[in-house]
Structure 1
Amino acid sequence: CCRNDLIRVPPSHAAPSVLLQLFDNAAFMRSIRAYNNVFAFTSMGASRSRSLTVDHSVCRDGVYNFRVMGSVCHRIGSLLPSESGRSMYAQVYINDPDMNARVTSRMQMTDGLDQAVLEKIDEIMERHNPYAQQFLHARSILVQR
């Protein structure tokens, strides 16, 4: 690997302990995809191969997988609120002024999420995620104008 150790990959930063503790929470683990989705900055689009829904040699028990045929894209959309007024994806960081508002928006996206867990993840994102920090900074610039 790595050209016989000629290439050194720097170690990644350790995950915050608060985040690691969530992985011991059975309810969090059952809904981990839903939590991931409500914190996504974009939605993903792809041309899926239909063969996986028919081919049982590929599609069995376990983690759901899909095969992409063609292209994959990420849709960020407008950062301004939609007609419905509900913030989605990166809009949450721009349109919702504080953690309580962001958590409320995310609670409305999917049923069954734990408010305390959403608050923990929001705090982690605000402290450690450079993309969340950029969107929050963009919001502060917009508010100043």
Structure 2
Amino acid sequence: VKPVSTNQDDYVDEGDPDHTCVHCGAIMWYGERINKSKYRRKPIFTLCCMQGQVQLPYLKKPPDFLMKLLTGNDKLSKHFQRNTRPYNMVFSFTSLGGKVENSLKKGAGPQMFQLHGENYHLARSLTPNEGGKSAFGQLYIVDTENEVENRSNALR
């Protein structure tokens, strides 16, 4: 897979992920197979489950309160649905970075963006700089007496 740039001439479309791992059922792109020098009708993948060596437990059913926030039509649910990204940010230990493509349509549904080129994660030290604001994992570790307020302030 070649890096994608914002220049239309450099764009490489891998198509839809239309192959399935025989071990875990993950949907994969053909380019993610192992042994790329050989053509295979049924490619073998290791990115997902290491050929069946990794088995993840099924997800538990979310609590009823959270399901109501995710699917409800009341005022609180609508607020939660509009602010999913900031809520996720409050509970993150890293921050995703990269070249963001902003030309995507705005509309109903969750906010989304597209990253081009190399993507990376930013992490900070366990303590903030002198006089600096806490971020990422620091919100949980520094000043545990006020962690809820610290996380709320990170949204402002």
* CA deviation after TM superposition for structure 1 residue 4, in Å: 9.4
Q: Distance in 1 between matches of 2:62 and 2:127?
A: 32
* CA deviation after TM superposition for structure 1 residue 89, in Å: 0.9
Q: Distance in 2 between matches of 1:48 and 1:18?
A: 33
Any stretches of 5+ residues in structure 1 without a counterpart? 54-58, 112-145
Identity rate of aligned residues, in percent?
31
Q: How many equivalent pairs are there?
A: 102
Give, as a single letter, the amino acid of the residue that structure 2 aligns with 1:104: E
1:3 aligns with 2:48: no
Q: Distance in 2 between matches of 1:28 and 1:35?
A: 8
Q: Distance in 2 between matches of 1:75 and 1:32?
A: 20
Q: Distance in 2 between matches of 1:66 and 1:76?
A: 21
Superposition RMSD in Å: 2.9
Please tell me whether the aligned partners of residues 93 and 137 of structure 2 are also in contact (alpha carbons under 8 angstroms). Answer: yes
Q: Distance in 2 between matches of 1:46 and 1:17?
A: 35
Q: Distance in 1 between matches of 2:154 and 2:125?
A: 17
Please tell me whether the aligned partners of residues 124 and 135 of structure 2 are also in contact (alpha carbons under 8 angstroms). Answer: no
Counterpart residue number, 1:47: 99
Counterpart residue number, 1:109: 154
Pick one of 2, 26, 39 that aligns with 2:78: 26
How does 1:1-145 map onto structure 2 within 5 Å?
A: 3=22, 10-23=57-70, 24=72, 25-49=77-101, 53=103, 59-62=104-107, 63-98=110-145, 101-111=146-156
Larger radius of gyration: 2
